[in-house]
Amino acid sequence: MASKAVLITGCSSGIGHATAERLAADGWKVYATARNPEALRALGDERVVSLQLDVTDADQIRAAADAAPDVELVFNNAGVVIATGIADPTVVDQARREMDVNYFGPLQLLQRFAPTLASNGGGAVVNIGSAAGLTNVPLFPTYSASKAALHSLTQAARALLGAQGTSVFGVYAGLVDTDMVRDLALPKTSPRDVALAILDGIEAGQEDIFPDPFAVNFGRQFESSPKGSERQISAMTAAMLSGSAA
């Protein structure tokens, strides 16, 4: 983790913001991106270069790649979650939005930055996924599906980009204290602690990173029994729905 150049998507808040702060403090040149660059003012570090980037916009992705030719680390962090039931009239449109941001966005970033990483010695990609991408959380069925797609892409990228010397890390977080899950009355981990755990995992060379207590326990359960983890999440969901009804 020697100080180099990193591009991070979704830096206006949460994990992206905390990661940008930490790496800038450690001496990295940070290309911090957000749909609204004004939201990046709080970073306020001379090492931070603010870029406008909507990960669903191919032109903005192209412009970001042109503006950051020295990047050696790419954080695909931008994401969106929409709590929509399968029978909801808007579910298909909402699912497309989640796939656009959570899957097609990282795919386009990989497409554009793979040559940049190769020319800079290989570098690394970090895909911020979710435990929900390994076992679907029924409260967020289509979000979980989009993160499952990202997990699959992470595996493919690891195999395909390894030949150019690019390492690919998958992050499978549990509940992080961000706006996405503010309404869930469950224990959450701070974005700062999650960011630090991710960076520690990268430095340790952990391809699959579980950066919070829930994720660590879930990862063990998933490794020992994927079906058991499905039952665990289903039971947790049922308990939450029962509590809401009461």
Is 233 exposed, middle or buried (CB count within 10 Å of its CB: 0-12, 13-18, 19+)?
buried
Are the beta carbons of 59 and 52 closer than 8 angstroms? Answer: no
How far, in Å, CA of 214 to CA of 193, rounded? Answer: 13
**Distance between alpha carbon 185 and the CA centroid of its chain, in Å?**
22
List alpha helices for 68-164, DSSP H. Answer: 91-99, 105-119, 141-161
How far, in Å, CA of 73 to CA of 96, rounded? Answer: 28
Q: In this structure, what DSSP letter does residue 13 have?
A: S
Cα 161-222-8 angle, rounded to 5 deg: 40
Catalytic residue among 29, 31, 103, 147: 147
Are the beta carbons of 33 and 41 closer than 8 angstroms? Answer: no
For residue 115, give the nearest of 76, 60, 66, 57 by alpha carbon: 66
Catalytic residue among 29, 31, 103, 143: 143
Active site residue 147: yes
Active site residue 227: no
**Which residues form the catalytic set?**
143, 147
